[in-house]
Structure 1
């Protein structure tokens, strides 16, 4: 489950816990809402810690400049052929 799924769990849990007054026999919807919110928060914490561990900062690669020798040929053949 990704970050979006965890946020949906939190939202559905908050709706069940705070915005409903339905009554089902044998089911406490407010408790179910709180449980969903807690599971969603645990998921967000887990997801963020995994994402933080994956984000490894690599040092910048050294820049290697090639030294090129430019030979100027008047005949237009710069590769050595036709000299």
Structure 2
């Protein structure tokens, strides 16, 4: 899953919703198009959230006296262009 899949679903959904005027028996192509559009937008958002979450890390160090130290690290390097 990635940005490519999201853009593909978004484009396919918008084409079906807005540009296709044919009909299939028992299938509303406009509704299928809007569903694919929403699915594509959801994939794009989830991919962005997952990429943002992957840039953070946390390490927990337990000391001899039983205390713990949490060290959080975040890479502010932008993700690679796709």
Q: TM-score, normalised by structure 2?
A: 0.67
Task: State the partner residue of 1:52.
Answer: 52
Name the structure where strand makes up a greater proportion of residues: 2
Determine which structure has more spread, i.e. the larger CA radius of gyration.
1
- The number of aligned residues is 58
Counterpart mapping for 1:1-83 below 5 A: 1-56=1-56, 57-58=74-75
Q: TM-score, normalised by structure 1?
A: 0.66
Once the two structures are TM-superposed, the CA of residue 38 in structure 1 deviates from its matched residue by 0.5
In structure 2, the gaps of 5 or more residues are 57-73, 76-82
Once residues 5 and 42 of structure 1 are traced to their aligned partners in structure 2, the CA distance between those partners, rounded to angstroms, is: 11
Q: CA RMSD in A?
A: 1.0
In structure 1, the gaps of 5 or more residues are 59-83
